[in-house]
Each structure stands twice: as C-alpha cells, then as structure tokens.
C-alpha cells in the first residue's frame, strides 16, 4: 500500500474515531457493580415528619433494611417539591437557596461562572428545584428508637419543616466562614440543629446535625445525604457549536475506584454498595456536585428511581451515632458544589478529580493539561498557551518528524521514475506494485514513513480534544479578537477555513499520487476536514492550525535542504 492511500485511511480514521468518541459519551455507564464491594440492602421503618398539606410519607428507612432515604417524599399535586420558605445565602463564589422544608439545598448559582460569554452578568445555575430539570441536595437523620413508653422517636429528614432565625445570610467582607443554622424540636423534647457552613473562596459546604438530647433515653441515629436529579431533556448530545458530554451520576470507593452510573443504570438496578472513604456525585459538563466521605465512617451508597422522571443517589452511615440522655452530639457530612476545577477537586477528596474524565487517553491528557496549565500561569492566555504547547510538542517530536519529512522528500524526488513505471506497466497493478517496492528498497525509502507526522498527531489531538471538552478552566476562556471562548466553535468559521487552507498547502508539498482517483480524494481531504472542524472547539482548531503551519515550515525547509544535497 503506497503512502497516499495510507495517509487517506489515517485521516479518515481520525475523523471517524472522533465521531465515535462523541457518540460513545452518551453510552457510558456502569453495567454492574464491582464484585469486590459487598452489596447490602437499605430499607425502612416508619418515622416520618410531614409538612401540613403534604401527601402521606412512607416510612423512614434505615441502613440495615431495604429502602433508601430517597423514598421519603413530600410532594404537592403535579409532582412539584413542597416548599416552606427560603433562606438565601451569598458568598464570594456561591448564591444558594435553602428551603425550610427539609433544609434542602434547592438552588446553587455559581457567581464566577456565567451562562454564556455574552451574558456575563447572569450566573450559571447548577442546582434548582424549578423548571423541567430538578437538581437538589437533601439530607437528614433516620433511626428507630423508642421512648420509655414504647413510642417511636421522630427524626428530622427531608420531609421535616425547619425554622430559621433570619431569611438571608451574606458573607461579610472580613469573614472567612458563613454559618446558616436551621432548627427543629421533636415532640419527645430532642432539639435538632441543621447547620450549613460556607467558606470564602471555596465550593465546599460543611453540613452538621447537632442533636440536643433532652429526652429520658439515649438517642441513636444515622445521617444520610443525597442528590435528587431529573433526567435532563438534553443528555449532552450534539448541539450547534458544542461537543457532547456526560450527564449522570458517579461514585467512588477505595475498592472499585471511580465508576459512572448513569440514569439508565439506575433505572435497571438500584445501587447498593457498602464501603468507607466513598463518595457519590452528579456530573454534568464542566460541573459536579458530590457528597464527600466521612473519615473512617463505614457507609452505604444507594440510588433510587423516583416519580416524575427523577432519580436519587446518596450515602448513609452504617453505624448509628449515640447521644446519651441529657447530652449533645454532632453528625457531620460535606458537600462539593461547583466547577470541575482540578486543583479544588484534588484538595476536596481522594478520587474526586477523576470526575474530570479524559477517558482512555488520560495518561496523555493529564500531562497535556498540566503543561498547558503551567504555561497559562505565565502567559495568562489559554489561546497562546495552546500555541506554545503546540510548539513544544513539535520540538519534542522534531527528530521523528524530520525523518518522516526526509522520507517524503525522497518520495517526491522519485515521482518521475514512478510515472515511468506507471506508463510501463499500465493497468497491471500487481507488477507495478512489485516494481515500486523494488525501487523503494533500492533507494532505501519507507513508503509509509510520511504517515508518521499524522500518526504522531492523532493521540495528541484526541487527548487535547478531551482536555478542551472536560477542563472547566478553558470554559469561556478568550484568546484574541473574535475568539472569546476556546471551548466552543469559532462563530465566524475563520479558524476552520485557515486550517483547511493550511492542509491544502501541505498537500502541495507532498508527493502527487499516481492514481488519479487517489489524487482527487487527497485534494478533497482539506475540504472534508474543514466541514468537520467547523463545529469543533476553537481551541482544538487552533492547535491543528498552528501544528499545520509549523509542519509546513519544517517540511519546506527539510525538502529544500534535501533537494540541494
């Protein structure tokens, strides 16, 4: 097989591979749980606390039994979540709303991330309980204690109506933490305080339940934390100017590490895992919400399917916390609600950075991002960082590329002799190929050597594709002039057109195929790539364009030098 046909197959294979990668994102998920993790149930005994006017609430679950805390529902007609008033919270990074019904975190807007580049004043909404796509965080306590008279104890869960001392909280200029305290008093005299603690320059939220046991018996209870999310109307498919991404849940355990568990998985089988040091999360493009692990606490991970096309995934403690009569105790959890900022994720919990999912090319993508990120710390422009990264990659592979371009130069020098062979053997392809291979062998030419520049580019190109797709640091990152977001398509198609022109220029430097059909196909390749690249992220097209320009200069220099020798 000659060089031109090999190059054609490589180029077409690259395009098809990228399309397959994009389609595969929608198919991702865990089919079965790891056999190394013990599976146990999560069901229930009655102990609800419902709000006035709400529907009946099924019994509150316990880790030792089979139902999940998600099955406790308080809804009004139309499957809308019940509300008992809101507490508004604002920090330097977050604007949140906590509903007094259950003390749920019902809304989270990220003040440092906007919806669109051109709408820079509108914060990105990560969590909400309104509209078609519900996404909230719920938590509570469950147990099955009884008092001396044999009556069941009431526990505060996400069906309990709390009270707050004020309707709004705002992080002060000189404050590093902001504490929001909710309270509920049970009929048996036990007082519960649900406390959210927000931190300056952080997307971590501490969640504590303080139990003041004023009853005459010891108190035992389990903490659970969960997310409730409706299946998105658009699950990250293709859209104009953007690439597909994964939307769904994921979990991490020390035994099975990081695994995705999408909405189809949850529909087919509830998640029931037992582990310590684990977390659960809901992922979407560039952002994540996670329930982080409690130190040394054995936990159970669960999921459930809820009415209204909603799903839940959460964590509950296996062993109860005990508070003696007349004393007080505290049970703690922690949330991460924010962007997939890799530095923040690394510091938040083990394995959480894996939510920035580069796929099977992670060994290449992760170092690429590390280099890109460090370059950006110097130049402070992600576009120029991509340009410099491309230059660095070309320098690293210079010896290999130089050898390839020398091979191509030799091939080009042989063109007159190859045409003579073509005229001599006519349509006898077998004899023509044999004669060509003998000529290559005599002149010590590898006909596939010219493919190496593209073969080198392919894994780096795809790895950078994932870096641009997954790294929130590049979301809405401007370059220059009209390019104000490197993570989406060039709105005026300038970069793709320049890229297509550079590919055409490269074709002129390559040996001309002997087969007229191959010649026309090879000349059409720049147009084919141009069409696909119209919708690729501008940063990816920028990389390919700069790489082409550098390759043209390198190839022209080596070819000119070889012809003089």
At 51 the pLDDT is 34
Packing angle of the helix pair 538-564, 398-413 (nearest 10 deg): 60
Of 252, 436, 264, the closest CA to residue 355 belongs to 252
- What is the Cα–Cα distance from 526 to 530, expressed in whole angstroms? 6
What domain range includes position 185? 31-234+243-357
Per-residue pLDDT of the chain in tens (565 residues, 90 and over written 9): 344 444 444 454 555 444 444 444 334 433 333 333 333 333 333 333 333 333 323 333 455 554 555 555 444 333 468 888 999 999 999 999 999 999 999 999 999 988 866 556 789 999 999 877 899 999 999 988 876 667 788 899 998 999 999 999 999 999 999 999 999 999 888 999 999 999 999 999 999 999 999 888 899 999 999 999 998 876 544 444 445 678 899 999 988 889 999 899 989 998 988 888 899 999 998 999 999 977 667 889 999 998 888 999 999 988 889 999 989 999 999 999 999 999 999 999 999 999 998 878 888 888 999 999 999 999 999 999 999 998 998 888 777 776 666 666 666 666 667 667 666 766 667 767 777 777 666 666 666 555 665 666 678 778 877 887 788 888 888 888 889 888 888 889 999 999 888 888 877 766 555 556 666 666 677 787 788 788 888 888 898 899 889 888 877 777 676 666 5
Q: Residue 86: beta bridge partners?
A: 99
For residue 556, tell me if it sits in a domain. yes
Q: Is 207 helix (H, G, I), strand (E, B) or coil?
A: strand
For residue 517, tell me if it sits in a domain. yes
338: which residues sit within 8 A by CB, 6+ positions away? 93, 94, 110, 126, 203, 287, 288, 344
Residues 141 and 262 in one domain: yes
Q: Is 277 helix (H, G, I), strand (E, B) or coil?
A: coil
For residue 348, tell me if it sits in a domain. yes
At 562 the pLDDT is 63
At 534 the pLDDT is 85
Residues 320 and 441 in one domain: no
For residue 258, tell me if it sits in a domain. yes
For residue 337, tell me if it sits in a domain. yes
Residues 476 and 369 in one domain: yes
pTM of the prediction?
A: 0.77
- What's the domain count of the chain? 2
Q: What is the DSSP pairing of strand 168-170 with strand 86-90? A: parallel
Of 511, 497, 513, 486, the closest CA to residue 548 belongs to 497
Residues 419 and 532 in one domain: yes
Last residue of a domain, one of 319, 339, 357: 357
Residues 17 and 35 in one domain: no
Of 329, 334, 323, the closest CA to residue 294 belongs to 334
Enter the DSSP assignment of 55: P
Expressed in angstroms, the distance from the first to the final Cα of the chain is 28
Residues 130 and 254 in one domain: yes
Residues 9 and 122 in one domain: no
Q: Residue 245: beta bridge partners?
A: none
Whether the Cβ atoms of residue 422 and residue 370 lie closer than 8 Å to each other: no
Last residue of a domain, one of 303, 328, 357: 357
For residue 535, tell me if it sits in a domain. yes
Last residue of a domain, one of 328, 357, 386: 357
For residue 399, tell me if it sits in a domain. yes
* Secondary structure element (H or E) that encloses residue 423, with its range: helix 415-425
At 519 the pLDDT is 61
* Secondary structure element (H or E) that encloses residue 525, with its range: helix 516-533
At 297 the pLDDT is 74
Residues 179 and 267 in one domain: yes
Residues 397 and 523 in one domain: yes
Of 21, 14, 492, the closest CA to residue 238 belongs to 21
State the residue for tokens 């519900």: 134
State the residue for tokens 């008093």: 185
- Give the other-Cβ count within 10 Å of 20's Cβ: 9
At 64 the pLDDT is 55
The CA dihedral of 463, 466, 471, 474, to the nearest 10 degrees, is 80
Residues 373 and 315 in one domain: no
Q: Which CATH number belongs to the domain containing residue 209 in this structure?
A: 2.70.98.90
Q: Is 373 helix (H, G, I), strand (E, B) or coil?
A: helix
Residues 492 and 454 in one domain: yes
Whether the Cβ atoms of residue 46 and residue 280 lie closer than 8 Å to each other: no
Phi-psi region of 491 (alpha: psi -120 to 50; beta: other; left: phi over 0): alpha
Enter the DSSP assignment of 511: P
For residue 26, tell me if it sits in a domain. no
Residues 422 and 507 in one domain: yes
């Amino acid at each position: 097989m000659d060089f031109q046909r090999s190059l054609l197959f490589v180029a077409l294979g690259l395009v098809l591979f990228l399309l397959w990668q994009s389609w595969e994102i929608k198919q991702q998920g865990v089919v079965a749980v790891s056999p190394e993790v013990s599976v146990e149930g999560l069901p229930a005994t009655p102990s609800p606390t419902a709000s006035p006017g709400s529907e009946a609430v099924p019994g509150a679950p316990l880790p030792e039994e089979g139902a999940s805390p998600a099955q406790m529902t308080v809804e009004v007609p139309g499957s809308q979540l019940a509300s008992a008033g809101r507490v508004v919270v604002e920090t330097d990074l977050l604007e949140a709303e906590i509903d007094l019904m259950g003390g749920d975190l019902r809304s989270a807007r990220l003040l440092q991330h906007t919806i669109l580049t051109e709408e820079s004043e509108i914060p990105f909404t990560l969590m909400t309980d309104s509209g078609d796509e519900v996404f909230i965080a719920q938590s509570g306590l469950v147990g099955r204690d009884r008092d001396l008279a044999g009556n069941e104890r009431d526990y505060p869960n996400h069906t309990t109506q709390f009270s707050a001392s004020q309707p709004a909280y705002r992080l002060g200029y000189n404050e590093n933490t902001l504490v929001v305290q909710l309270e509920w008093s049970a009929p048996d005299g036990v007082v519960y305080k649900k406390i959210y603690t927000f931190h300056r320059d952080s997307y971590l939220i501490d969640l504590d339940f303080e139990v003041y046991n004023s009853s005459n018996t010891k108190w035992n209870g389990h903490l659970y934390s969960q997310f409730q999310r409706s299946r998105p109307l658009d699950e990250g498919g293709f859209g104009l100017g953007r690439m597909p991404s994964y939307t769904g849940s994921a979990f991490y355990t020390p035994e099975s590490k990081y695994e995705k568990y999408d909405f189809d998985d949850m529909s087919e089988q509830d998640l029931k895992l037992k582990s310590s040091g684990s977390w659960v999360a809901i992922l979407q493009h560039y952002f994540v919400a996670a329930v982080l692990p409690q130190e040394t606490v054995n936990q159970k991970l669960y999921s459930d399917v809820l009415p209204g096309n909603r799903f839940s995934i959460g964590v509950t403690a296996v062993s109860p916390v005990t508070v003696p009569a007349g004393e007080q105790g505290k049970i703690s959890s922690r949330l991460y609600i924010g962007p997939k900022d890799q530095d923040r994720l690394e510091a938040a919990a083990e394995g959480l950075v894996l939510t920035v999912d580069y796929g099977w090319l992670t060994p290449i993508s992760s170092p690429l991002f590390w280099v890109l990120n460090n370059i950006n710390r110097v130049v402070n422009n992600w576009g120029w960082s991509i340009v410099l990264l491309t230059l660095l990659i070309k320098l690293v592979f210079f010896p290999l590329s130089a050898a390839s371009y020398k091979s191509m130069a030799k091939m080009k020098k042989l063109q007159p002799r190859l045409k003579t062979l073509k005229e001599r053997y006519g349509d006898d392809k077998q004899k023509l190929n044999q004669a060509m291979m003998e000529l290559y062998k005599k002149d010590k030419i590898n006909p596939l050597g010219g493919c190496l520049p593209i073969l080198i580019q392919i894994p780096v190109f795809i790895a950078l594709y994932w870096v641009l797709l997954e790294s929130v640091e590049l979301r809405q990152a401007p370059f220059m002039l009209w390019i104000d977001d490197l993570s989406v398509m060039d709105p005026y198609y300038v970069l793709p057109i320049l890229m297509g022109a550079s590919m055409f220029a490269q074709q002129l430097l390559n040996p001309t195929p002997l087969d007229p059909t191959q010649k026309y196909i090879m000349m059409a390749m720049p147009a084919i790539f141009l069409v696909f690249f119209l919708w690729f992220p501008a940063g990816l097209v920028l990389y390919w364009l700069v790489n082409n320009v550098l390759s043209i200069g390198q190839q022209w220099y080596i070819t000119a030098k070889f012809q003089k020798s």
